[in-house]
Amino acid sequence: MSINLPSPATHRRLPKRRRGLLAGGVAVVAALAGVGLFGGQPWASAATTITYDTGSGLTFAVNATNGNITSLKHNGTELAQSGQAAGQFESGWSSAAVTSKTFGNGALLVTAANIDIGVTMYYFARKNDNTIYIATNIAKALNPGEARFITRLSSSLLKTSPVAARTAASTGTVEGSDVFSFANGQTASKFYSSQRLIAQQPFGASGNGHGVFIIPGTNEMTSGGPFFRDIEVNDTGGAVNITNYLFSGHYNTEGLRLGLHGPYAMAVTDGALPAGRSLDFLSAYIPGLLSNAVRGAVSGTAGGSWAGQRGTVALAGPNGQYWGQSKSGQFLIGHVRPGTYTATLYAGELAVGATRSVTVTAGATSALAMTGDVPAGGTLLQLGAFDGTPAGFKNADKIETMHPSDSRMSAWTGAVSSAATLPMAEFKSVNSPLAVNLPLSSVPAAGVKVRIATTGAFAGGRPAIAIGGYTSPASASPAPVNLNSRGVTRGTWRGVNTTYTFTVPASALKTGNNTLSVSVLSGSSGDAFLSPNFIFDALAVDPA
């Protein structure tokens, strides 16, 4: 049972070790054996549960044997789904070295280390703040290659969550075991709750006077760059799962970064979204977390012709990833860990110009000038913008929250005469080839050059063309980068941008309407929307 806090007089008589256990509103449940709270050393009354009350509505408990958060109460109501963990790394651990430290202000830091997999979780809480602040140190490669904090909460209480990710009451699956269908032909998946990191806001679920939200923090040690996105919220009916991904192989263009991920936070509210806040204060409590005072910055200019797109400068290196948007040709990226980074300029989501190397030192601001232009538009035909996205194409406005088979999608087939009639993706077993109308007032003497820009691919899918008597050689369609993951069916287009260029001889063309056939080339096969595919960024035609 819980041990009641002693009176102040009794507290003064306790040995120092027991004072640390009971200070600041921390209670323990005693057992005969277990992992001690200090340095992982067992002692006669080893704690099996560490409980903390913020004094303002939030009480939570951590299992001192395995480091899982076992209880999350708001105003006395248990929010954790029965039989599930209120917080854990991946699927949870069976054992961990768990230690606890209290501070003079009543704050608590719980450390749970799993030496076998090389991961340490930190949970920090303080008085009058209904938030658990979290950081995750990853010391070595993971198997399986994912890293996430997940909380599994009551779906009967927290009924408000992203609709596109509510898979309760589904009638079947349309892909694997993670994309679901309903009787009306609509689809839902945990993948359809994601936000781009550059625009990510607190996310979670609420209902009945309660709300639980992840405050994602800086994402400085996650992978994939500013436009990457991953699973956030999923109401399965059995639980509302809220996930903060630190790394995954879900169409990711980068590998795992080793080191301290976070801080991030789990805020409990009366249902309202939590306010934004600085997490810099945690550097005084979480080991290895650098304060802003010992970080650096990068500032400079970003220029070029971006065709109306917004410019973003992004840094990437072993020590982290950071970004800042250009305003009136200027950018500033602050709170950067010291180290050397590769800087990339994006127009929209398309990398433009040459990358640059920049070194960041503590307490200093490094200068950097970035420049780059988007490709010129086609003079004979232009479908879509060169911006690294399929914006403006058929179904592009739906793909982030629906599977391609969803009944709300427009038909993936049909003749193409405009951007709005070009499907945002082409699938080998669904809509390949596509017939694109190419009107020519006259035939250029040297023929035409066709550029097809893509944002990502699956199973080796890439474009090939045919027009008149001409068929592009396989050498014009080199195999794309293999990300070894589903992409567009998971609601994302953010892969590796690639442009394919084809030169069509004049003999294959005619004055008037020509039909440009665009097909999917791949040595692989697959069923329907899991067949080889690629995602369109733009299609342009110019005189050769």
In the structure encoding, which two tokens stand for residue 317, read together? 């290196």
Which of these, 315, 326, 390, lies nearest to 355 by C-alpha position?
A: 315
Alpha carbon distances (Å) from 103 to 7, 13, 20, 106: 18, 19, 8, 5
pLDDT tens, 436-485?
999 999 999 999 999 999 999 999 999 999 999 999 999 999 999 999 99
Specify burial of residue 497 (Cβ count, 10 A radius: 0-12, 13-18, 19+): buried
Q: Are 136 and 89 in contact (CB under 8 A)?
A: yes
Residues 375, 357: Cα–Cα separation, whole Å? 23
Q: Are 79 and 72 in contact (CB under 8 A)?
A: yes
The per-residue pLDDT for 37 is 32
Q: What is the dihedral of CA 369, 375, 377, 380, to 10 degrees?
A: 150
Residues 287, 425: Cα–Cα separation, whole Å? 46
Tell me the pLDDT band of 195, cut-offs 50, 70 and 90. Answer: very high
Whether pTM > 0.85 for this model: the answer is yes
The per-residue pLDDT for 144 is 85
Q: Are 430 and 529 in contact (CB under 8 A)?
A: yes
The per-residue pLDDT for 27 is 59
Helix (H, G, I), strand (E, B) or coil at 341: strand
- The DSSP-derived string for 200-266 is ---EEEEETTEEEEEE-TT-TT-SS-TT-----EEE-SS-EEEEEEEE--SS-SS-PPPEEEEEEEE
In the structure encoding, which two tokens stand for residue 250, read together? 């879900």
Tell me the pLDDT band of 29, cut-offs 50, 70 and 90. Answer: very low
The residue whose two tokens read 């309202």 is 272
Question: What sign does the CA torsion over 417, 418, 419, 423 have?
Answer: negative
Specify burial of residue 141 (Cβ count, 10 A radius: 0-12, 13-18, 19+): exposed
- Gap between the terminal Cα atoms of the chain: 81
User: Has residue 3 got a pLDDT over 50?
Assistant: no
The residue whose two tokens read 């299609």 is 539
Tell me the pLDDT band of 51, cut-offs 50, 70 and 90. Answer: very high
Q: Are 497 and 480 in contact (CB under 8 A)?
A: no
The per-residue pLDDT for 2 is 33
For residues 254-283, average pLDDT: 96
- Which H/E stretch holds residue 13? helix 8-13
The per-residue pLDDT for 39 is 33
Residues 99, 129: Cα–Cα separation, whole Å? 22
Residues 534, 479: Cα–Cα separation, whole Å? 11
Tell me the pLDDT band of 25, cut-offs 50, 70 and 90. Answer: low
Q: How far is CA 468 from the centre of its chain?
A: 44
Helix (H, G, I), strand (E, B) or coil at 530: helix
Residues 274, 261: Cα–Cα separation, whole Å? 21
Which of these, 294, 363, 362, 303, lies nearest to 330 by C-alpha position?
A: 303
Rg (CA), the chain: 27
For residues 117-133, average pLDDT: 98
How many CB atoms sit inside 10 A of residue 18's CB?
Answer: 16
pLDDT above 70 coverage of the chain, percent: 91
User: Has residue 280 got a pLDDT over 60?
Assistant: yes
Tell me the pLDDT band of 276, cut-offs 50, 70 and 90. Answer: confident
Residues 337, 295: Cα–Cα separation, whole Å? 5
pLDDT tens, 208-240?
999 999 999 999 999 999 999 999 999 999 999
Residues 101, 115: Cα–Cα separation, whole Å? 20
Helix (H, G, I), strand (E, B) or coil at 293: helix
For residues 76-82, average pLDDT: 98
Regarding beta strands 296-303 and 365-371, do their DSSP bridges make them parallel or antiparallel, or are they unpaired? parallel
pLDDT tens, 137-175?
999 999 888 999 999 999 999 999 999 999 999 999 999
Which of these, 338, 345, 350, lies nearest to 368 by C-alpha position?
A: 345
Residues 262, 283: Cα–Cα separation, whole Å? 11
User: Has residue 283 got a pLDDT over 60?
Assistant: yes
Q: Are 99 and 108 in contact (CB under 8 A)?
A: no
For residues 49-75, average pLDDT: 97
Tell me the pLDDT band of 8, cut-offs 50, 70 and 90. Answer: very low
pLDDT above 90 coverage of the chain, percent: 90
Which of these, 208, 206, 166, lies nearest to 187 by C-alpha position?
A: 166
pLDDT tens, 285-324?
999 999 999 999 999 999 999 999 999 999 999 999 999 9
Residues 375, 348: Cα–Cα separation, whole Å? 13
Q: What is the dihedral of CA 400, 406, 410, 414, to 10 degrees?
A: 110
Report the mean per-residue pLDDT for the chain: 92
Q: Are 290 and 322 in contact (CB under 8 A)?
A: no
Please provide the size of the chain in residues: 544
User: Has residue 33 got a pLDDT over 90?
Assistant: no
The per-residue pLDDT for 26 is 58
Residues 324, 304: Cα–Cα separation, whole Å? 16
- Measured at the CA of 49, the angle between CA 7 and CA 42, to 5 degrees, comes to 95
The residue whose two tokens read 């323990």 is 28
Question: What sign does the CA torsion over 222, 228, 233, 235 have?
Answer: negative
DSSP-assigned letter for residue 503:
E
- Residue 448's identity, in one-letter code, is V
- Which H/E stretch holds residue 9? helix 8-13
The residue whose two tokens read 């369609």 is 477
